[in-house]
Amino acid sequence: MQPKVAVAAVTFDRHEELALLLKGLAGQTAPIHSIALVDSGTVPATDVVNAGGAQNINYLRSEANLGGAGGFAYAILAAMASGAEWIWMMDDDGHPEDDSCLAELLRTADEHQLDIISPLVAATADPNRLSFNFRINGLLTNDRSRLAPMGYLPDMVHFFNGALIRTEVFYRIGIPDVKFFIRGDEVDFLSRVKKAGLKYGTLATVAVQHPATWTEMKPVFGGFITPVIPEGDFKRYCYFRNRGYLTRKYRNLRWFSADIVGFPYYFLKTGDLKGLAHWFRAYSTGFRGKGFGSPAELMSANS
């Protein structure tokens, strides 16, 4: 008997991409009981939802911009309320690559008795490369052809693009932390997963497609350290603040060492003293557990 699966999805003004996602979900060979879709966009996506004709979409309109963290938290709770045994996480700019994606994830989760199983996340513009790097034998790679033959990759996962998660996991470790807004909620969630001793992995034979973030990655020291520099002041503020906060929360000396060397080196090397000052202010603020609050106020102060 097939387990009951609900999708937890978020969208913000990406109507064309959302249509692709809903089409990809509708074509899955494994049944999807319901889709909890949180829409925080400035233009409601009701036309896209109605055009798809699906009867299993629970459309949840939010007049407040909850960010990725808050949107996923809302969608997860709605998916849990549907009685689902598994929750499939989806961002609006990603979509399953083929119709067997969910079925293969469920099969692998059952075979390995997993709490969480993720597909590969392939770059939309170049599906032969991955949107996010994997570390294989100590080296970072986004070459899909290296990973696909490996099949199942234990103890590797990327949230929240396509991750399939047992509902029980959220009862044990909670939902994404709303205060992160964007950037960092997935790192916090994975840290909680590891602390709880949950079993997880990636199935490299299936994928969701999602825009790559390669332009944000700025390798230094021959790639030994790779600072991430988001585009836009507000995204940078959230990322740097959350990074500082999480480094202290989990007392991660490896993160701290990489950050206090990698970020200053990058900004000094590029002559971006303003960027260095912005990083230091946001990172140190988060490290002290401060700098969280209303997104509207933070956007105004960091844009």
The reply to whether 255 and 132 lie within a common domain is: no
The reply to whether 184 and 253 lie within a common domain is: no
The reply to whether 230 and 158 lie within a common domain is: no
The reply to whether 17 and 44 lie within a common domain is: yes
Q: How far apart are CA 147 and CA 225, in angstroms?
A: 22
The reply to whether 86 and 149 lie within a common domain is: yes
State the total domains in the chain.
2
The reply to whether 178 and 49 lie within a common domain is: yes
> Which tops the pLDDT comparison, 214 or 10?
10
- Specify whether the CB–CB gap between 28 and 103 falls below 8 A: yes
The reply to whether 124 and 233 lie within a common domain is: no
Residue 1: CB atoms within 10 Å? 3
Cα→Cα distances 192→63, 89, 174, 242, Å: 30, 17, 9, 15
The reply to whether 55 and 101 lie within a common domain is: yes
Kindly indicate the confidence band of residue 303, based on its pLDDT and cuts at 50, 70 and 90.
Answer: low
The reply to whether 196 and 222 lie within a common domain is: no
The reply to whether 159 and 219 lie within a common domain is: no
Residue 139 has pLDDT above 80, yes or no: no
Residue type, 21: L
Cα→Cα distances 134→130, 212, 237, Å: 9, 13, 25
- Of 212, 244, 263, the domain-final residue: 212
Range of the domain at 257: 215-301
Q: Is 171 exposed, middle or buried (0-12, 13-18, 19+ CB in 10 A)?
A: exposed
Cα→Cα distances 237→40, 54, 219, Å: 21, 38, 20
Q: Cα–chain-centroid distance for residue 76?
A: 13
pLDDT, averaged across the chain = 95
Q: Which residues of 136-155 are buried (b: 16+ CB within 10 A; e: fewer)?
A: eeeeeebebeebeeeeebee
Q: What is the mean pLDDT of residues 226-252?
A: 96
Residue 1 has pLDDT above 80, yes or no: no
> Using omega within 30 degrees of 0 as the cis cutoff, is the peptide bond preceding 160 cis?
yes
Domain with residue 149: its CATH number is 3.90.550.60
Whole-structure pTM value: 0.94
Residue type, 154: P
Q: What is the mean pLDDT of residues 20-35?
A: 96
The reply to whether 17 and 118 lie within a common domain is: yes
Residue 85 has pLDDT above 80, yes or no: yes
Residue type, 102: L
- Specify whether the CB–CB gap between 224 and 263 falls below 8 A: no
- Of 162, 185, 212, the domain-final residue: 212
- Specify whether the CB–CB gap between 107 and 100 falls below 8 A: no
The reply to whether 111 and 250 lie within a common domain is: no
- Of 212, 231, 256, the domain-final residue: 212
Q: Is the dihedral of CA 123, 178, 9, 44 positive or negative?
A: negative
